[in-house]
Structure 1
Amino acid sequence: MKSADKLGQSEKIRYAERDAELRQMRIIATALLLAMAALFVFGKYMETRYDGHWGFLRAFAEAGMVGGLADWFAVTALFRHPLGIPIPHTAIIPNNKERLGRTLASFLRTNFLTTKVVARRVQRMDVAGAMGKFLSAPAGGEGRMRMGASRLLGDIIAALDDERLGGVAKGEIRKQLDKLDIAPLLGQLLTAMIRERRHIPVLDGIIKWASATLEANEHLIRQMVEERANTIMRWTGLDDKLANAIVNGLNKLLHEMAEDPDHPLREKGEEGLASLAHDLRHDKELQAKVAHWKGQLLENPAMGKWINSLWDQGRDGLLKAARNPDAALAGSFGDALIKLGGRLQEDSRLKLQINRFARRAIVGTTENYGDNIVTLVSDTVARWDASTITDRVENAVGSDLQFIRINGTLVGGMAGIVIHAVGLLI
């Protein structure tokens, strides 16, 4: 049926099984009705030509036909017009689907989604125990958790609107970066680095960078000296000697700083870093400058591209991990889940707290959102077309309606025998 296309895969299988059973019972009920018609013709023929008790057979078949036809009409009239003829008060369910939806929703709200009923039902629920058994099951719990949760997580991530969700996530990242007071944080980080002597590699890196920069830009230093030298210095070649002296002196200084951890300039550099760390934490003017620089950095298009790539990489990583059951919940995280399952079964105090929270959450959800749930039911039924609601309800009821036709045929036949016998006695 068409409505089955809207269901999930597992539900489709159950739907098809019920539909096959319904068709089989419909064939049996119709075949029984046709058998009664054939039996009536045979019984009538025998009754008119021979004496005896053939009248009982004819009466049985005749009344069975009437009962079967009446019940066929009644069952069919619930869902559609018999033989396609728009007889009044037929196709009752599709013609009244809005009222049916409202009645069903009201029934659910009144009899099931009330605070007292839900509270009574969840009073003995052991949510923590069930979670503990599921998480710590040595044979299949971990596998079920990996397969089920990983697949569910992957489907959820893939189904979410990437553009909308990405916009929200990237906007939240930018918002948090904008709220972050970065200067004191940098000051604390720098202070901790100096205290633990982790700034040494930074200084070494600065010295190596300066040495490489000097080597790559020697020609600029020589050009500057030559441009500023007078004619006499250029004639005598003193400008080249001066440039060589500057370059060699700087190279020697950088080499000594790299080799000597106690070099005076390194000490000055450490003092400068310590002063910068202090100012970052306490100097309001410097903090304002850093905040301004941070704002300019956030407005830079390159930062926007970086945030976009950060979201894309994070989403792709989540999808890959979620769709790999051996990676999503494996390793230390999977072990932690198993340990949590054991604790949920052993720690009575923790079980009590979780169960109490779960019960309050369920009851609170019912109280706060019960009306929304029943509105969802009534609106969903109202949106179904006539074919969908007919197929859904008829499939849900299943073969019981066809048993009504079968019973009506047989009971009608028995009633026909009784009526015929009474007629003979009178």
Structure 2
Amino acid sequence: MRVTATLLLVAMAGLFVITQGMLGANPAWGYVHAFAEAAMVGGLADWFAVTALFRHPLGIPIPHTAIIPENKDRIADTMAVFLRSNFLTPVVVARRMREMNVARAAGDFLKRSGESGEGRFRAGAGELMVELLESLDPDRLGLQVKAGLARQAEKINVAPLLGQMLEAAIADDRHRPLIDGLIRWAGLALEDNEDMVRDMVQQRANSLIRWAGLDGRIANSVLDGLYRLLAEVLVDPQHPLRRKVEEGLQKLARDLQHDPATRAKVEAMKNDLLANPAVSAWWMGVWERIRHALIDTIRDPGRALGGQLGSSLSELGETLRSDPALQLQVNRFARRTLVGVVNRYGEQIVGLVSTTVKGWDARTVTGRIEGAVGRDLQFIRINGTLVGGLVGVVIHAVTRFI
């Protein structure tokens, strides 16, 4: 397409030279001559405009040319700010999480796990334990057990444990499915906000780009580039962006273990969960099933309790799937947790984009953007040549009959 646009410009120059000596032969040659002359002007002007976006025309350092290479770092920062302001914000994440039913998904998982459970309790404690369990008031016993577990849970620092688990998961590469899920979520978020992306790019385009009609194409190129980048990160385990995300997860693991502010927030969320009435009601139901299961097992040590536990898991999963109040509490907890992570670590996540683009050399940035826009750049030159020629014909006609 670049060759085609250049040959068209050369053809207009040749036509201009040929018709120069035929102007007196017939008035029609004047229109052809005017078309060729204006087409050359339009083609050269659009060639200059297109070239000035990516490099200095003819290698001459004319001011306000090579716009993209000269502003590479600013473009990187703008992309990072755009992502931070429009995607990784508590409002956007909360809205996206509000559309997801985490509790129902957990219920589906527990129900499947419960239906396939094969665990067995093979030890019994004797008839004395049975009598003890049957003689105690079930409600009081359940409340006492719950209170004891709550006291023990309050003493446990959950944040360091979570940090160690995350650190171990990263060491064993078990965190990669989570990163893949985040990448897919980012792709869905970008797909849902394509119009906003185009508006943002067009609003930030300078007058030269808008005059050349490139703002829309550049917006499409930015979207294509982001989709391509997400796809590359998804399929390439060694992609720099993926490594940056892993560094962010490693920092989160360290903060959970050593940062007092992070640990305090996790402890506050844990205490809120323990004090939730829905959790208390759920625990009482679980406790009753556990109590009856223990009694049955003690009386019949050879009986498999795997079915009981599987049934309990299935019932718990069914409760999560069908209880709107419990779903509301669990989903709210999950939403607050993820919003807190985004609010605290959003800057580091979007910083991956800025750091990566800044790390590219100017030729890489130019090549990727120019390759993404592709044929449309040369169609701008072709259209400029043809439109310029038509304008030249109109001007010639007007001047001839005035």
TM range (shorter): 0.3 to 0.5
**TM-score where L is the length of structure 1:** 0.41
Q: Which structure has the larger Rg over C-alpha atoms? A: 1
